[in-house]
Structure 1
């Protein structure tokens, strides 16, 4: 759903840029409360993983494909504020390095793909977790529903932005009908990827899933007289709390998806591209400012073999996203630590 340059006029692009900047600023402050020593490096990995999975377009209808947006996945794994930052980093890397999503439309894309998906998904996720039984399967089910709804929600927000600043005269009702219809199908793929990923992490390390915090129940022992006594679980040793294995597995998975599996992704246009072409929204699409990037269109320039070119581009993208994302989140974490230092010294 990456919006290219030319779909939205300058005034609305500037306005959405301001909205995106404000959302990122708020998220930087909010992420300080979500990021701890374990979550900061994991958040960078989540951004890299989302980048990798977004390369895997899957078919959803005749001549149409879809890909993960990632807002729901990021919000549930590392928190809503950090989730907005994760997807924003991904969109920035895609726009600057891969000419995917217009640079003048970066505000549109962050407002739609990062903010909308994360806010809608996490709000619904928290509501469902409150009403469902307090167990891990409920988190997975809530993840599925939240991700499913987040995609058509983003399609609706794009339609609203188009209604305010579209550069073509296509009726808004036609855009809405087409966008909503195809993105409901894409939402199913998003929901499957999100729930499977969240379920896999919960099965191994539930303590690393932000949305699953507080679900663990204390151990209860029944005494001879029939009463129950709650027993606090023993603290896990430091080695068991390490995130090293999770980070290694996550990184290997991201590299494998971007460097190898992406070659087999669907080459059909995604939902927005298909609707834009069919309805004529793309008549005023401009050339991307990064069209001459050596990584444009997810292929490494001057490498003739398509499989190798795409694979190397994907690996570079994962590495760049991981580096930038980790840098951002570690910096946010350190600022939180420095902000708390005066209080610690005065105690």
Structure 2
């Protein structure tokens, strides 16, 4: 037996909004690509999430809000009654294990394929700019398709997709929702001038480019209340098509964060650097200065280890820390961190696709 770490509050209860959490260790959203073509979670997913319920908060894998919002095969949705029922199995299992879980609401925007879209239609985006890269379909990897620009009169319909998904998440028994405005997906595509060349009220100025994220947040808050809604941002992540950062990251995201303060959200979940790769940021970008603008609870994310989490918590720079990949192979990560136990590292081939192997078969440790 080892003596647990006691000179930090990372392992003590905390409340974000009205979310009462057992500790400040958060399970970050992890796409695992293990549902069928119907996007319905099942008993295997319930087991997986329940195994990790000792996290203070679980943020679900990114979940498609609509058929239009889908960009990868075998990712879950939350737009049909069957998907809602599948997620209810998951939330019931997490709650039975004493955990809390929120649904991350996801629309991929331009990073999709006609093979994944309803009726083979083009993906939608703020502007008709081709992304780089490939996505995964039931037939394997294919290049992403060129998107079409959303018409101005279509945007209320997109906001409605988020509103309906938020309501479905409530029916599914989630404890709250996280608006996914990160990683170069739809909302982030509207934020960045590298992907948004619109000339209507959703393009051009910083205020216009932030409009959709703020309108979506407002719609979701009306369903859940501000105290059960979080948001994820990643100001410099080039994911989902090698999307360049905005030409003025500090101004764009500084404005957005200050506007988000009006909602008094449960938390902001912030990718400090490029998601899952590097904490290095472009010259002139100061992540701590941006995060300090947020007046609520702040979850730091990206390549954290225990030492960094302890240091940044002691400095007051984070209120909680999100771990992603470490939760894949360490379902009992909270206890392992608290006791300084050895961590297991998952091989990359276990990340995506398949069944229980590399998903629910990781052992828990002895402390």
**After TM superposition, is the score higher than 0.5?**
no
Structure possessing the higher radius of gyration over alpha carbons: 1
Q: Which structure dedicates a bigger proportion of its chain to helix? A: 1
Bigger relative contact order, structure 1 or 2, given CA contacts below 8 A and separation 6+? Answer: 1
TM-score (normalizing by structure 2) = 0.27
TM-score by length of 1: 0.28
Larger strand percent: 2
